[in-house]
Structure 1
Amino acid sequence: MLQKQKSEFTKQLILNESFKLFYKDGFKTTSVDKIMIKTKLTKGAFYYHYKNKKELGLDVIKLKIQKRVCDGMISPLYTSGNAIDILKATFLNRIKAFPLEEKQQGCPMNNFINEIGDSEKVYQTALKSIIEEWKTALINLIDKGKKQKTIKNAISSEATAVYLISAFEGMRGIRKLYDTDEIIDEYVLGLSMYINQIKV
């Protein structure tokens, strides 16, 4: 039992430190050697858990990035209440709440999409599944808002969902170019106006 726990701890250490390195330095420039230096583990420990960096990258997407997006942007959409209020709380409050380091480094998922989303089908599929899950949650919320009569019936739930995700992820990327939150404030104002336009 102790060996199993130790093995799981080692795997989690590799995952956690790899995620941080991929986020900070990029996936392509982070070598297995760099991960081993950071974790203070041997290459044998790495290859016991992963065949190669490609397999590790897929695990980081599925176990770290997907969880972040789910916890921060998907699960809140399933809470009870007024759909418009949920949209505002999820999209407007979330982007203002990111720590400075995350504003400067952008969205981990977005960084992965831009760096390797088109290089390997397996990465593309894993990243796309996160977007699709997010889109589905938004469509469900918007449809709920229509039933509540808080969101206009005439709008396309699918188009609205895609727009909200694209605008949010775009802003996460654009913010990396700026030294202040002024650009985020403008985004928040614009998105507030948009949400007000779709509400009844």
Structure 2
Amino acid sequence: MQQEVKSELSKQQILESAFKLFYENGFKATSINNIMETTSLTKGAFYYHYKTKKELGLEIISQKLKKRVTDAMILPLSNKGDALEILENTFLNRIKSFPTYSKLHGCPLNNFINEIGDYEPSYQTALKDIIETWKSALITLIERGKLENSIQKNISSSAVAIYLISAFEGIRGIRKVYTDDGILEDYLLGLKLFLQQLKKQ
């Protein structure tokens, strides 16, 4: 049992170090040696848990990236209350929660999509799964809003969902080239204006 715990701790240490390096330096620019140099583990420990860097990358996507999006952007969508308010608060609260470090480096999911989304079919599938799950949760909330008469019934829920995801991921990338939050404030104003257009009159 003690060996199993130790093994799991070493695996989590590799995952944490890899995620940080991929986020800061990029997936392709980060080697297995780079990852292991930031841990107190041997290279043998890496190969005990992962056959290749590709395998590690897939676990980063399925564990780290999926959990981040699920916790911050998907689970809040199932809250009770007005659908439009939930949409606004979910995106607004997430944007406001980012420390300077996250603003400088952008969105880990978006970074992965831009760097390796077309690099390997298995990466593409894993990244697409996160987007589709997020999209599905948004559609569910928007449809709920229609039933509750807070959102116009004639809009495309799928189109709105994709627009919201794209705008959010886009602003995360754009913010990396700015030195202040003015661009984020404009995004939040635009988000409010967009959501107002969805409101049932």
TM-score range, shorter chain: over 0.9
SS of 1:74's partner is: helix
- Of all paired residues, the percent bearing the same amino acid is 61
| TM-score normalised per structure 2 | 0.98
What is aligned with 2:28?
Answer: 28
Q: Write the deviation string for residues 46-94 of structure 1: whole angstroms up to 9, x where unpaired.
A: 0000001000000000000100000000111111111011001101221
Q: Which runs of 4+ in 1 moved over 4 A?
A: none
Q: Write the deviation string for residues 103-129 of structure 1: whole angstroms up to 9, x where unpaired.
A: 110000000000111000000000000
What is aligned with 1:135?
Answer: 135
SS of 1:39's partner is: coil
Alignment of 1:129-168 (within 5 A): 129-168=129-168
Stretches of structure 2 lacking an aligned partner (at least 5 in a row): none
What is aligned with 1:16?
Answer: 16
What is aligned with 2:99?
Answer: 99
RMSD of Structure 2 on Structure 1 (CA): 0.6
CA distance in 2, matches of 1:39, 1:62: 22
Q: Does 1:51 align with 2:51?
A: yes
CA distance in 2, matches of 1:151, 1:91: 17
CA deviation after TM superposition for structure 1 residue 29, in Å:
0.7
CA distance in 1, matches of 2:101, 2:150: 36
CA distance in 1, matches of 2:115, 2:121: 13
What is aligned with 2:197?
Answer: 197
What is aligned with 2:61?
Answer: 61
Stretches of structure 1 lacking an aligned partner (at least 5 in a row): none
